[in-house]
Chains A and B, each alone.
Chain A
Amino acid sequence: MNQEPLVQIRDLSFSYDNRKILSGVNLTIPRGKVVAIMGSSGCGKTTTLRLIGGQLKPTSGEVRVNGQVVHELDSEGLYAMRRRTGMLFQFGALFTDMSVYDNVAFQMREHTDLPEALIHDLVLMKLHAVGLRGAHKLMPSELSGGMARRVALARSIALDPMLMMYDEPFAGLDPISLSIVGVLIRKLNDALGASSIIVTHDVQESLKIVDYIYFVSEGRIVAEGTAEEIRNSKTPYVHQFVWGEADGPVPFQYPTHNAYGDELLQKAA
Chain B
Amino acid sequence: MRMATNCCRRRLEVSDNRAVQLLIKLGHQVTSRLWRLGFASRFFLAIFLHSGTSFRRMHLTFREIYFTGVMSLIIILVSGLFVGMVLGLQGYDTLQRYGSAEALGILVALSLVRELGPVVAALLFASRAGSAITAEIGLMKATEQLSAMEMMAVNPIARVVAPRFWGGVISMPLLAALFSAMGVFGGYLVGVVLIGVDSGSFWSQMQATVDFREDVVNGIIKSFVFGVIVSWVAVFEGYDCEPTAEGVSGATTRTVVTSSLAILAADFVLTALMFRGV
Contact = CB atoms under 8 A, between A and B. Distances in A.
A58 to B, nearest CB: 17
Interface in B129-170: 136, 139-140, 143-145, 147-154, 159
Interface in A79-120: 79-80, 82-83, 85, 87, 89-91, 93-97, 106-107, 110-111
Main DSSP-derived SS at the A contact region: loop
Contacts of B2: 17
B3 interface: yes
A82 B151 contact: yes
B163 to A, nearest CB: 12
A87 B153 contact: no
Given A17-B2, A17-B3, A90 B151 contact: no
A60 interface: no
A14 to B, nearest CB: 16
Given A17-B3, A82-B153, A110-B152, A55 B143 contact: no
A95 B154 contact: no
A142 B104 CA distance: 55
B144 A93 contact: yes
A89 B153 contact: no
A193 to B, nearest CB: 20
A253 B66 CA distance: 54
Interface residues of A, number: 22
Interface residues of B, number: 18
A111 B148 CA distance: 15
B152 A55 contact: no
B155 to A, nearest CB: 8
Given A17-B2, A17-B3, A96 B150 contact: no
- Identify the interface centre among B3, B145, B151: most chain A CB within 10 Å of its CB: B151
Given A17-B2, A17-B3, A93 B150 contact: no
17 contacts: A17-B3, A18-B3, A82-B153, A83-B152, A89-B144, A91-B143, A91-B144, A93-B144, A93-B147, A93-B148, A95-B140, A95-B148, A97-B136, A106-B154, A107-B152, A110-B152, A111-B154
Interface of B: 2-3, 6, 136, 139-140, 143-145, 147-154, 159
Top 5 A-B pairs, shortest CB-CB distance = A93-B148, A82-B153, A93-B144, A79-B153, A87-B151
